Structures are given as C-alpha cells and as structure tokens.
Structure 1
Amino acid sequence: MKKFLFLISVILLASACDNEPEKQPEMQVAEKVADSILVYQGDFISVGKSAVLKGDKFIYQVKMDSVASQLTDSLNAFKKDENSIVPIKVKGQVKDNVKAEGYSKLIEITEVLEIMAKPITENE
C-alpha cells in the first residue's frame, strides 16, 4: 500500500509541475514612421528642363513635375538671367534617384514655402 501511495503521489506531483516555460506577454511596439516630407532651404538652380536644389550640406536633383515646373516659371521674376540662382524654402520628399544620370538623391517638391529673393525690377 505504501508503494501504491508513493506511486500515486509521484504521478500527481509530476502532472502538477508545469514544464512549459511561462510565455511573457508580447510587447506591442508601435512603429514610428518618420515624416518624410521635410522643409529644405537652399539655392534653386535651373538649366533648361532640369533643376537642382543645393543646400549647405546637400545637393538634390529636382523631380520636374507640375509643382517644380510652376516654381521654375514663377522664379523668372527673380532671375537676372536664365542661369541665375534663387534661394528658396520648400517642403519635399527626398528619394534615391533610380536613374543612372544626375545626382544620387532626388527631391520631389510638394509645396513652395518661400522665395527668399527680391523680384528684379526693370531698372536693374
């Protein structure tokens, strides 16, 4: 009888032990997506149908879409000649330039914030 009780107690003890490691509750981490539309300030240089935005620490080729074309047209009042440099402040998104030509980074201008040059008058 003692062997029987001993055997029952060992079986109960073994079945009562939880051999599975306790799972820690998973921490849900909210991914922070950086706002890719930032403000850039630099010199807008346009030659023909291409343009470049040059800042203190960057040079980006400008994606010539409708916003960039409107900007180029509106800068004619600020240019002394066709190849003039005009300081501007814009909002845009910088991407890798998938084309092999030009600069390695491409900026897509989403909004023109400020043209930091004085318009050229006819006297100048």
Structure 2
Amino acid sequence: MKKFLLLISVILIAVACDNEPEKQPEMEITEKVMDSIQVYQGDFISVGKMAVLKGDKFVFQVKMDSVAFKLTDSLNAFKKGENSIIPIKVKGQVKDNVQATGYSKLIEITEVVDIMAKPIIENE
C-alpha cells in the first residue's frame, strides 16, 4: 500500500509540473533610428553671405553659422576666383528649410571632414 501511494504521488507531481505552459522568450524589438548627423560630400558654393552644398543627388542651402563662416574663410586658400566651387566632405544635419529662399532643405554643418581640393599657390 505504501508503494502504491508513493507511485501515485510521484505520478501526480510529474503531471502537475508538466502542465505549465512553456513561456516563449520575448523578442526585443528595437526601432532603427537613422542618425540625423551624417557625412555629405559635394561642392561648396559660396556667394557673399550665402552658401550651397551641391551633391550628386541633393542641393542644400547651408545654414550660415560660426562653423560655416569658418569654413568659408578657410576655403579662401583654395579659391581661384571670388565665387569658386570647392569639393568638400562635411558632417551635418539636414532639416526642412523654413525660409523662402528657393531650397527645400537646409544643412547645418557640424564638422568639416575633408577639403578635397588642392590649395592654390600664388607665384611671387
């Protein structure tokens, strides 16, 4: 009789533990957010106090802040004339242009990565 009760209790314990539903591990879904600061390569065209960055598939008006003014000043060694086109590579953030100046996008340059032109050496 003791063996019979022991056998039934072992079976009941095994059945009770086996009925628990298996929990599936929850998959973590991470939303991929594009970094707003990217590298852009194109021609920097400045006329007066306005500038444009023109690439193969884009044309952005440049937000003229301290970084853009420093870039414009540093490009003087590369210019052939007053309104030269200089190939550059910059990091920046592109936003919708709220000003009615003809360009739908505005780039705020955060860092100058490379100036891909050779400086002009003036002969004395």
TM-score (norm 2): 0.75
Partners of 1:66 and 1:90 in 2: CA distance: 14
Q: Could you tell me which runs of 5 or more consecutive residues in structure 1 were left unpaired when the two chains were aligned.
A: 1-25
Distance 2:99 2:43 in 1: 23
The answer for the alignment partner of 1:93 in structure 2 is 93
TM-score normalised according to structure 1 size: 0.75
Aligned to 2:59: 59
Specify the code of the residue in structure 2 equivalent to 1:120. Answer: I
What amino acid is the match of 1:110?
T
CA positional deviation for 1:28: 6.1
Letter in 2 for 1:106: L
Find the residue that maps to 1:86 and give its secondary structure.
Answer: strand
Percent identity, please: 83
Q: What is the CA RMSD across the aligned residues, in angstroms?
A: 1.8
Counterpart amino acid of residue 96 in structure 1: D
Structure 1 runs, 4 residues or longer, greater than 2 Å off: 26-32
Which residue number in structure 1 is paired with residue 14 of structure 2?
A: none
More off after superposition, 69-78 vs 32-41: 32-41
Amino acid at match of 1:42: G
In 1, distance between residues paired with 2:50 and 2:104? 15
Measured against aligned partners, the alpha-carbon deviations of 1:57-110 in whole angstroms (never above 9, x if no partner) come to: 110000001100000000000001110000000001111001112300000101
- Can you give the 5+ residue segments of structure 2 that lack an aligned partner in the other structure? 1-25
Q: What's the CA shift for 1:27? A: 7.0
Please tell me the residue identity of whatever aligns with 2:34.
Answer: A
SS at match of 2:42: strand
* CA–CA distance in structure 1, aligned partners of residues 93 and 72 of structure 2: 18
